[in-house]
Amino acid sequence: MQEFSREFIEFALEKDVLRFGEFKTKAGRLSPYFFNAGLFNDGESLGKLGQFYAKAILSSKIGFDMLFGPAYKGIPLAASSAMALASMGSNRPFCFNRKEAKDHGEGGTTVGAPLSGRVLIIDDVISAGTSVRESVEIIKSAGATPCGVAIALDRMERGKTEKSAVEEVESAHGIPVVAIANLDDLLAFLETREGMSENLAQVRQYRNQYGVSHA
């Protein structure tokens, strides 16, 4: 596990973004944990989240020219990641889309830098892959090239096939997905924490039932 992955999980627990209990997922599964990046909802936590994204992106070695944040959750994620990357010596432009085209002023469906070159999509998690698919279409229609996706947490569980939702996105679009942390990191983290043995057992059981193994 990368050091930033461990620190990110600890931070997510501290901010109550990562919770344990019983939660129903979009797929209708009862999950023993829940992750809601929308709860990084103040300046300090959003700034720190951007730092984690930047570290994961730079560690991945994905070549990119700019960032794209799909509306709405991806907008603050892309902005905070761009600022964090700049602070690490990698200043890149960013852009995000509108849900509805603007018919006055500058018009158009995107805000920020023009989409061009290799574009890295920034999102929170991948469940059905709808957000990524829409982002890829926007990027390609502008004549740019989607080069990857950065997310906060990879749950490493089956999507619509025997592959994980992340693997389905990688296969469908031919682009890599990098996560700040994944389910293996979470399990490794729980193994080292006192008083978390029950949570560890429940997450392990859930992984055995719905998870996939990454090579």
Give the catalytic positions in this structure: 102, 104
Give the strand pairing for 118-122 and 145-154.
parallel
User: Residue 187 is encoded by which pair of tokens?
Assistant: 């399990």
Task: Answer for the pair 154, 169: CB distance below 8 angstroms, yes or no.
Answer: no
- Residues 31 and 25: their CA atoms lie apart, in Å, by 7
Alpha carbon distances (Å) from 4 to 36, 42, 63, 124: 19, 20, 20, 16
Please give the angle made by the CA atoms of 118, 101 and 53, to the nearest 5 degrees: 40
Burial class of residue 30 (count of CB atoms within 10 Å of its CB; 0-12, 13-18, 19+) = exposed
